[in-house]
Amino acid sequence: MTARRIALVTGGSRGIGSAASRQLAADDVTVVVNYHTNAEAAQKVVDEIREGGGEAVPVQADIGDPAQVRALFDTVEDRFGALDIYVNNANTAATFSTIADAPDEHFEQTFLTNTRSMFVALREAARRLRCDGRIIFVSSGVTKMHIPKFGLYAATKAAGEQMIRTLAHECGARGVTANSVVLGPIRSASFDDRPGGAAEGIAQQTPLGRIGEPEDAADVIAFLASDAGRWITGQSINAGGGLY
Ligand SMILES: NC(=O)c1ccc[n+]([C@@H]2O[C@H](COP(=O)([O-])OP(=O)(O)OC[C@H]3O[C@@H](n4cnc5c(N)ncnc54)[C@H](OP(=O)(O)O)[C@@H]3O)[C@@H](O)[C@H]2O)c1
C-alpha cells in the first residue's frame, strides 16, 4: 500500500489556498492548512475537509518571517514524518504604486519580504520533500501583462517563477516536479483589495467572459500535485481564463 501523501498549503485558510486544500484533501492527501491570523477561517476549512472524510490540520505561521517558515516545515515533519506536496500560495500584503512613486518601504514590504520568505520556503521544500514530490508556486498573470503599479508585486512573482524553473532541474533526479501556476484574476479578498477596476470590467476582457473562482485555480494545482502531473516540470502554467 502506498503511503498517504502529505501536503503543506501556505495561506490555506482562505481564497485560492482554501480551495486547493479542499481539492487536495478530496484527492486523499492529508493537508496542513497554514494561516496567519484568521484561525477561525483555517478551522472552518479543516472542519469541512474532515466532515467530507478527509484529513487536515491547521498550523499558524507568518510566512513573512523566515524563522516561522522553517518552524512550519518542522511542525509538518514532526507531526507526519514526511512532506510530499508544497504549495507556495501565501503572499505577505502587497503594495501597489508606480515604480517612480514607490518608497523604499514598498520594496521592502512587497518584494524583499515575499522573495526572501519564498526562497526560505522553497529551500526547505527542496531539502525535505520525499521522492516524487511536488512543488507548486502560485504566481500571477501580472508577470505576463505588465500592469502599471504592479511592478514590485510582479517582480516577486517573476523571481518565484525563475526559482521554480531552477528547482525543477535541481530536484528532478528524485522525481520531484516544480511548477508555477500563473493565475489570472480570481475572486478573493486580495483580489478585491488590489487596484485596477471592478471584476466585471476584467471579466469582459477574458474569452470566457468571467473572472476565475478559487476552485478554477485549485483544480490546476491539484492536477500538478497528482500522479497525472508527473511529466510536467519547470513550467509556468498559464491559468488565466485566456486573459494572456
Ligand atoms: N486572487 C487573485 O486574483 C490572484 C491572482 C493571481 C495570483 N494570486 C495569488 O494567489 C495567492 C493567494 O491569493 P488569494 O487571492 O487567495 O488571497 P486571499 O483570499 O486574500 O487569502 C490569503 C491567504 O493567505 C494567508 N496569508 C496572508 N498573509 C500571510 C502571512 N504573512 N503568512 C501566512 N499566511 C498568510 C491568509 O491567512 P489568514 O486567513 O490568516 O489571513 C489567507 O489564507 C497569492 O499568492 C496571490 O498573489 C491571486
Residue nearest to atom 24 of ligand 1 (CA): 11
pLDDT for residue 5:
98
Cβ of 183 below 6 Å from ligand 1:
yes
| Residue 45 in this model has a pLDDT that exceeds 90 | yes
C-alpha cell at 128: 525535505
pLDDT band of 3, cuts 50, 70, 90? confident
pLDDT for residue 190:
83
User: CA separation (Å) from 243 to 16, 145, 170?
Assistant: 18, 9, 31
Domains of the chain: 6-235 (3.40.50.720)
Provide the 10 A C-beta neighbour count for residue 78. Answer: 9
Cβ of 62 below 6 Å from ligand 1:
yes
Question: From the alpha carbon of 187, which atom of ligand 1 is closest?
Answer: 1
> From CA 146, how far away is CA 166, in angstroms rounded?
23
Cβ of 16 below 6 Å from ligand 1:
yes
- Percentage of the chain surpassing pLDDT 70? 98
Q: 33 C-alpha vs ligand 1 centroid, how far in Å?
A: 12
pLDDT for residue 202:
87
State the average pLDDT over residues 78-84. Answer: 97
Q: What is the pLDDT of residues 8-39, one digit of tens each?
A: 999 999 999 999 999 999 999 999 999 999 99
Provide the 10 A C-beta neighbour count for residue 124. Answer: 21
